[in-house]
Chain A
C-alpha cells in the first residue's frame, strides 16, 4: 500500500488559512457551512476568466467553443466523481437548495396531490423541508416525519408504516448538525419496497466521502460546490434520466428550449431543459478543479483523515472540558462526519462563538437551519465545529483551549 497523502502539507494550498484574525492564526472550523478553496481552484477560475471566457452553448467562434468545452468537461468530471451512469443526468444549479427546490417544483408539482404522502426526517436542513412545505400549501399532501432515536440516529422502528403508500422519501445522507451518517442502503431499500421515489440531500457527505449514485440506487441526489472546495454559486442535481425526461421544466428562459413561438414553447432535452439562462460557467470550471484536487488526495483518504480527527476531537474536548461539554450526535466516529455540535454548560452558543472568534477560531452558533431537529434535541442553539481535509490536531487543540477560556470567562 502506498503511503497516504500528507494532510499536514495541504494547508499551504489554502491562502486564507495563512491569514490572521484578531492577531491570531485563523483556525477555520466552519466547513459544514462553506469550505475554503485551494489556489488550484482559484487559478483555474482565473485562467478561465482571463483566457477562455464567453457565454456557453451560443457562439460559433472559437472562444465560445472553448468556454462550452470547459463547462461541459466539468459536467463529465462531476458525473465521474459521483458514479453517474450518464453525464446528461448532471444538472448544474445555483446550490443544493436550488437543486432540492427543482425536485419539489418540477417532480413534486407533477406527481403529488391531496391524497398523497411524502416522508422526511426530523434531522433535515430547512432546504429539504421548506420546498416541500411550500408545495404542500399548494397541493395539500401529507408530510410524515421519521423521528430521532438514540445517540443522534434516526429511529427506523416504524419505517415501513411511515413509508406505506408514500410517493417520496427525501432525506439527508449526513446531518449538518449531528454529523450522523444515515443508513442510505437500508432507507432506500425500504422506500423501494413501498414504491417511493428517493431524493437525497447529500450536501454534507459528497465533500467528505466516496459517493456512487448508482450504488446508492436513489432517484435524485443534491449537493453544493461551495462545501467541496469549489466556488459559491454552483450546485448539482443528479437525477435518474427516465424521471428527468418525464419532468416539466423548472425555470423558463433561454437555453432550456428547443423551439418557441407566440403560441408556446418546446423544452430542450435533459440537462438543458433544467438550465435556463446563462449558467454558472466559471463556477463549473472551479468545481471541476475542486474535484481534481479531491480526487488527487482520494475520497477514502479524506474520510479516514476526518474519522481520526473526529475521534481526536471527541477525546480532547472531553479531557479538557469534562462534564461541562456536551457533544451531540453519534459517539462512534465511524458512524458520523466531522461535525461537532457543542453545548457548554452555562454558556450560550453565541457567547462561545464570540470568545472563540477572539482566539481566531471560527465556529458557527445557532440552529444551523434545522429548527425541527433543535426542537427535538431540546436546545435552541449549539456551537458547531466542523472539519475538512485541511484541518489537523492543532486546530482541535486551539478549539479546546478557546472553549476552556469561554467556560472560565462565563463561569458563575
Chain B
C-alpha cells in the first residue's frame, strides 16, 4: 500500500463523502468552535448531555479537508452514548495514535484494546506519516474537548 493509499483509506473517504452526525443543535446544547490557523479550516461541535450524564446527541458543523472532516465524523459516532470521561479517554487514545501526548504525560502507544475501542478511527493511523495533517485529524477532538469543558463549567 502506498503512503497515499494508507492515508486515504476507503473508510476515511466514506466518512468524508457521507459525514455522520452532520448539522447543528439548538441550545441547551453546548457549542464549541475550532480553527486550524494554518489553513482556515473550521469545525463546530454541538454537544447535548442526557439526564444520565452521557452524550445523548452530537452534531458537527464547519468545513475542512477529508482528514479533518472524516476524523470529526468518526469521532461523533464514537463518543455518542459515552460519558464525558469515556470520551476524554478515547481522545487520549486517539492522540496517542497520532503520537501526541497529553500535557505532562509520557507518550503512550495505544494498546490493542484501546485501538479496538477506537474502531473506525484506527483507520486514521496513516496520518502520522504526514506531520502537517495531524492537526487536521485532531481538530475535531480539540474542539470536542472545549465543548466538554464548557459543559463541565456550565457555560
Indicate, yes or no, whether A interacts with B. yes
Mark A residues whose CB is within 8 Å of B. 348-351, 354-355, 358, 365-367, 371, 374, 380-381, 409-410, 412
A365 touches B39 (CB 8 A): yes
Q: Which residues of B contact A (CB under 8 A)?
A: 2-4, 7-8, 13, 16-17, 38-42, 63-69, 130, 133, 136
Q: Is B4 a contact partner of A351 (Cβ separation < 8 A)?
A: no
Assembly CA distance A380 to B36 (angstroms): 11
B4 touches A354 (CB 8 A): yes
Q: Please judge, given known A-B contacts A350-B65, A410-B66, whether A355 and B40 are in contact too, CB under 8 Å.
A: no
CB of A367 within 8 A of CB of B39, answer yes
Q: Are A380 and B63 interface neighbours, CB within 8 A?
A: yes
List of B residues within 8 angstroms of A371 by Cβ: 40
A366 touches B39 (CB 8 A): yes
Our pick among B7, B13, B16 for the contact of A354 (Cβ within 8 Å) is B7
Given A348-B69, A381-B39, 7 more A-B residue pairs with CB atoms under 8 Å apart are A350-B41, A350-B136, A351-B66, A354-B7, A358-B4, A365-B39, A380-B42
A380–B40 contact, CB under 8 A? Answer: yes
The main secondary structure of chain A at its interface with chain B is helix
The answer to whether B130 touches A354 (Cβ under 8 A) is yes
Contact between chains at B66 and A349 (CB < 8 Å): no
In the complex, are the beta carbons of A350 and B67 less than 8 A apart? yes
Cβ contact of A350, chosen from B2, B3, B13, B133, cutoff 8 A: B133
Which chain B residues lie closer than 8 Å to A354 at the CB level? 4, 7, 130, 133
Partner of A410, one of B13, B39, B41, B136: B13
Q: Give 7 nearest A-B pairs by CB, closest first.
A: A350-B65, A348-B65, A367-B40, A366-B39, A380-B40, A358-B4, A351-B66
Q: Measured between alpha carbons, how far is A355 from B2 in the docked complex, in Å? A: 12
Q: Which residue of B lies closest to A374 (CB)?
A: B40
Is the CB–CB distance between A366 and B40 below 8 Å?
yes
Cβ contacts A to B, 15 pairs, < 8 Å? A348-B65, A350-B39, A350-B41, A350-B67, A350-B68, A351-B8, A354-B7, A358-B3, A358-B4, A366-B38, A380-B39, A380-B40, A380-B41, A380-B63, A410-B16
- B8, B17, B66 — most chain A CB neighbours (10 Å): B66
Bound Cα distance from A381 to B66, whole angstroms: 13
Kindly name the residue among A354, A371, A374, A381 whose own CB sees the greatest number of chain B CB atoms within 10 A: A354
A36 to B54, CA, bound (A): 54
Report how far A350 CA is from B36 CA in the complex, Å: 12
A409 contacts across to B, CB distance below 8 A? 8
Which one, B2, B38, B64, B130, contacts A348 given CB within 8 A? B64
Say how far B2's CB is from chain A's closest CB, in angstroms: 7
A391–B59 Cα distance when bound, in Å, is 46
In whole angstroms, how far apart are the Cα atoms of A349 and B64 in the complex? 9
Nearest CB to that of B64 among chain A residues? A348
Nearest Cβ distance between residue B23 and chain A, in whole angstroms?
19
What A residues does B68 contact at CB under 8 A? 350
How far does the alpha carbon of A365 sit from the alpha carbon of B65 in the complex, in Å?
10
One of B8, B39, B42 near A349 (C-beta < 8 A)? B39
Minimum CB–CB distance from B35 to chain A (whole Å) comes to 10
Structural contact, B2 and A381, CB atoms closer than 8 A:
no
What residues of chain A lie closer than 8 Å to B130, measured between beta carbons?
Answer: 354
Enumerate chain B residues within 8 angstroms of A351, measured Cβ to Cβ: 8, 65-67
